[in-house]
């Protein structure tokens, strides 16, 4: 899978997200502090990763900033993106299952290596629910 990754700094697990996704066999496109020459401010970097998803250059994205909040807000401004700030595997699984989230937002401050692995396992193994209520909710997001 092609996954776009953005971070506003190389603190915390920023670089490890890239290496771990590549180790798992994914093609990774980088933005912000992870890509020399690009603007590394969170709003700009995370927008680029989200646009990769919305415009079909990537199937999913991972966006990171110190708290993860700004990264998720920036990504969610892009039409067609459903970004979820996840601090544990349960939240990541639920975001994929019930919200059909296509952008994972992470806190560089709170995410440890162990928790990152658990989140990525849940996120990458997660599949959207086919329950009619869940499908209707996701469809309504597009209509808002």
Tell me the mean pLDDT in the region 13-42: 97
Residue 111 is classified by DSSP as -
83-118: pLDDT as tens digits: 999 999 999 999 999 999 999 999 999 999 999 999
Question: Which residues on adjacent β-strands are paired with residue 2?
Answer: 27
Q: In the chain, what are the domain boundaries? A: 2-143
- The CATH topology of domain 2-143 is Ribose 5-phosphate Isomerase B; Chain: A, (3.40.1400)
Kindly give the residue spans of alpha helices, DSSP state H, lying in 3-128.
14-23, 42-54, 69-76, 89-99, 113-125
| 46 given a catalytic annotation | no
- In the block, tokens 């899978």 appear at 1
Question: Which residues on adjacent β-strands are paired with residue 104?
Answer: 62, 84
30-42: pLDDT as tens digits: 999 999 999 999 9
Catalytic residue among 46, 64, 65, 86: 65
Measured CA to CA in angstroms, residue 14 lies from 98, 107, 108, 124, 133 at distances of 26, 9, 7, 17, 35
């Amino acid at each position: 899978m092609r996954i776009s990754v953005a971070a506003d700094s190389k603190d915390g697990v920023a670089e490890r997200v890239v290496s771990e996704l590549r180790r798992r066999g994914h093609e990774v496109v980088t933005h912000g502090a992870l890509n020399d020459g690009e603007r590394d401010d969170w709003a700009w970097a995370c927008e680029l990763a989200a646009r990769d998803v919305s415009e079909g250059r990537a199937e999913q994205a991972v966006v990171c900033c110190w708290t993860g909040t700004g990264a998720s807000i920036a990504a969610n401004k892009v039409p067609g993106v459903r970004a979820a700030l996840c601090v544990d595997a349960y939240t990541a699984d639920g975001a994929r299952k019930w919200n059909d989230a296509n952008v994972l937002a992470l806190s560089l401050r709170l995410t440890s290596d162990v928790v990152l692995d658990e989140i990525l396992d849940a996120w990458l193994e997660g599949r959207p629910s086919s329950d009619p209520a869940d499908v209707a909710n996701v469809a309504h997001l597009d209509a808002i």
